[in-house]
Amino acid sequence: MAQWEYAPAPESREIARLRESYGMFVDGSFGAGGETLKSVNPATEEVLAEVAVAGEADVDRAVAAARRAYEQVWGPMPGAERAKYLFRIARIIQERARELAVLETLDNGKPIRESRDVDVPLAAAWFFYHAGWADKLEYAIPGRPDPRPVGVAGQIIPWNFPLMMAAWKLAPALAAGNTVVLKPAETTPLTALVLAEICQQADLPPGVVNVLPGAGPTGAALARHPGLDKVAFTGSTDVGREIQRTLAGTGRRLTLELGGKAANVVFDDAPLDQAVEGIVNGIFFNQGHVCCAGSRLLVQESVHDEVVEKLQRRLGTLRMGDPMDKNTDLGAINSAEQLARVRELSDIGEAEGAHRWSPACTLPDRGFWFPPTVFTDVAQSHRIARDEVFGPVLAVLTFRTPAEAVEKANNTPYGLSAGVWTEKGSRIFWMTQQLRAGVVWANTFNKFDPTSPFGGFKESGFGREGGRHGLEAYLD
C-alpha cells in the first residue's frame, strides 16, 4: 500500500532575527559582561549566539537599579499608569509573535507548533490579564483593601518554557508595583532578552525589569542578594531546597515551583480515544519537559490492555524531528545533560524490570533526541514511577478501585498536578477532593490560563502563580 507522506513545511529562521551576541539588560540598557556563554540549538548542536554572563557585580548593579526604580518610579506610580505599560508589552509580544516563536524553537528545541500556539500566546495573555489588575489591586484579595507591593523581586526560571516562564514571573510582579531582576536558564536565554528589548520598546522606565543571563552561580548570587525583598524560583527540587536554606531566617519572601510526578488516572468508563489524546498531550507535550506532566498513567485494570494498545498505535503516528517543521509533534531534548538524565532513568527502569517500548522511529544524527517511550509492568517502587524524568517517558501502572487509584496517585513526594478521566461527574469531584495536587484536570490535561492559580503541595513547592492567588505572592 502506498504511504502518504507529509511535505516538509519548515518555518523560516530569518524571522528570528538572530544576532551573534546578546548582552545583559540592566537599568534600561544592554551591556556586555566579562564572560560569555554559548546558546545552542539542541536540534542541531549549532551555536546560535554568544550571551553575556552576569557576575556578582552585575547582580549588585541590577538589584540597585531595581531598588531605585521601585522607590522613585514604579512603586509610587498609579496602578492605571502601570497598566498601560503592561498592555503595551502584551501587544508588542503579539506583534512580534512569529519572531519570538521561531527564536524559542531554535533555542529550546520545542516544535514550532507549540511555541507558536502555546508559549507565545500564553505569554501575551499573562501580560493582558495582569494589566487588568494593576489598577484594581484593592479588590484582588478579600479583607485586604490597601495592598502594597513587596519591593524588589529576584526571579529565577528554567529552560522548559523560557518566554512563558518569564511572563508568568514578570507580569504579576509588575502589575502589583514591584521591580524585578530576572535570571533566565543558561541553555535558553534568548527570548527573555528579546522580552527585555520589548520592555525598552514599551518605554518601561529603566530598572523596572533587569535580565541577567548566566548559569547556577549567577542564580545563586541573585538568590542570596540581601537587597531583595522576595525570591521566586521555578526549577529542580534540589536547587529549590538550597534557595530555601539560603533564605531561611532572612525575612525575605519566597515562592517555589518545583518538580512533579503527576498521576493521570483513567477509569474504565472514560471515553478511551479521548483519554489517549490526553495521555499523549500529558506526557509528550514539550518532550515531557513539563513540571506538571502526566508522567504516571494509572489505568483501571479492566481497560489496561485496550488503553496501552490504543496508545501505542497513536504514538506510531507522532512525527518527531525538525522542530521548525510545522508538522512536527516531538522536538529535541533541551540539552546533552537532560538527555543523559532521561537515558539514565530509562535504563534504570529497564534494569528494575519494567517493560520498555518505543515506536519505530529514526532519530536525527545530530542534536539531542529521545524517542517517545512507554514503560508497562511498572511497580510503585520503581524509580521510573517515583523520580521526575522530565522527558518523553511514561510509566503505566494499574488500579482496581477508586480508593486504590487515590492511594497510588498520592504516593509521591510531589503534588503539583493530576488528571482524571471518567464519564462520572460525581467521581471527578470526589477525586479532586482526595488528590493532593495543586491542579487537577478532568477529561483534559495541560491546560493553562492566566486566571487560574497554578502551584504545588509537598516537594512541588509552595505559592501560586496565576489568578488572584498569584498576585497575592507579590503583595504585602
Instruction: Name the residues that contact Mg ion, by CB under 5 A.
Output: 39-40, 107, 187-188
Interface with ligand NAI includes 154 (CB under 6 A)?
no
Interface with ligand NAI includes 459 (CB under 6 A)?
no
Q: Which residue has the cell 509533534?
A: 329
Q: Which is nearer to Mg ion, 184 or 349 (CB)?
A: 184
Interface with ligand NAI includes 235 (CB under 6 A)?
yes
| DSSP single-letter state for residue 4 | P
Q: Which of 438, 432, 434, 442 is nearest to 460 (CA)?
A: 438
Q: Which is nearer to ligand NAI, 132 or 216 (CB)?
A: 216
| Rounded Cα distance, 37 and 186, in Å | 8
Interface with ligand NAI includes 53 (CB under 6 A)?
no
In the set 291, 388, 459, 472, the catalytic residue is 291
Dihedral over Cα of 89, 234, 118, 125: its sign: negative
Q: Which of 177, 219, 278, 367 binds ligand NAI (CB under 6 A)?
A: 219
Q: Residues near 35 by Cβ (< 8 Å), separated by ≥ 6?
A: 52, 53, 55
Interface with ligand NAI includes 160 (CB under 6 A)?
yes
Q: Which is nearer to Mg ion, 108 or 300 (CB)?
A: 108
Number of residues that bind ligand NAI (CB under 6 A): 27
3-state secondary structure of 345: helix
Q: Distance of CA 407 to CAs 50, 135, 269, 368, 400, Å?
A: 49, 44, 20, 36, 11
In the set 257, 388, 465, 472, the catalytic residue is 257
Q: Which of 59, 193, 291, 299 binds ligand NAI (CB under 6 A)?
A: 291
For 135, half-sphere exposure in the C-beta direction (CA atoms, 13 angstrom radius) is 13
Given Mg ion, ligand NAI, none, residue 292, with its beta carbon under 5 to 8 Å by kind, binds: none
Report, in Å, the least distance between residue 159 CB and ligand NAI. 6
Q: Distance of CA 431 to CAs 414, 419, 455, 467, Å?
A: 17, 9, 18, 23
Judge whether 344 counts as a catalytic residue: no
| Rounded Cα distance, 304 and 340, in Å | 30
Dihedral over Cα of 321, 328, 272, 293: its sign: positive
Across-strand partners of 398? 299
Interface with ligand NAI includes 158 (CB under 6 A)?
yes
Q: Which of 8, 15, 167 is nearest to 102 (CA)?
A: 15
Q: Which of 18, 90, 156, 308 binds ligand NAI (CB under 6 A)?
A: 156
Report, in Å, the least distance between residue 51 CB and ligand NAI. 13
Judge whether 291 counts as a catalytic residue: yes
Q: Which three cell numbers stand for residue 304?
A: 489496561
Given ligand NAI, Mg ion, none, residue 107, with its beta carbon under 5 to 8 Å by kind, binds: Mg ion
Q: Which is nearer to ligand NAI, 236 or 358 (CB)?
A: 236
Between residue 167 and residue 196, which ones bind ligand NAI under the rule CB under 6 A?
Answer: 183, 185-186
Element (H, E) at 201: helix 190-201
Question: Cβ-closest residue to ligand NAI?
Answer: 219
Report, in Å, the least distance between residue 232 CB and Mg ion. 22
Q: Which of 223, 283, 384, 428 binds ligand NAI (CB under 6 A)?
A: 223
Task: Count the neighbouring beta carbons within 10 Å of the beta carbon of residue 430.
Answer: 15
Identity at 115, one-letter amino acid code: S
Q: Which is nearer to ligand NAI, 147 or 154 (CB)?
A: 154
Interface with ligand NAI includes 109 (CB under 6 A)?
no
Is 131:159 a contact under the CB 8 Å cutoff? no
Q: Which is nearer to ligand NAI, 123 or 311 (CB)?
A: 123
Q: Which of 212, 239, 256, 354 binds ligand NAI (CB under 6 A)?
A: 239
Report, in Å, the least distance between residue 11 CB and Mg ion. 17
Q: Distance of CA 438 to CAs 64, 208, 257, 333, 459, Å?
A: 35, 31, 11, 27, 12
Q: Which of 68, 40, 63, 291 is nearest to 155 (CA)?
A: 63
Site string for ligand NAI, 260-289 (x = CB under 6 A): ------------------------------
3-state secondary structure of 233: strand
Given ligand NAI, Mg ion, none, residue 39, with its beta carbon under 5 to 8 Å by kind, binds: Mg ion
Report, in Å, the least distance between residue 391 CB and ligand NAI. 8
Report, in Å, the least distance between residue 436 CB and ligand NAI. 17
The catalytic site residues sit at 257, 291
Q: Which residues contact ligand NAI (rule: CB under 6 A)? A: 156-160, 183, 185-186, 215-216, 219-220, 223, 234-236, 239, 242-243, 257-259, 291, 338, 341, 388, 390
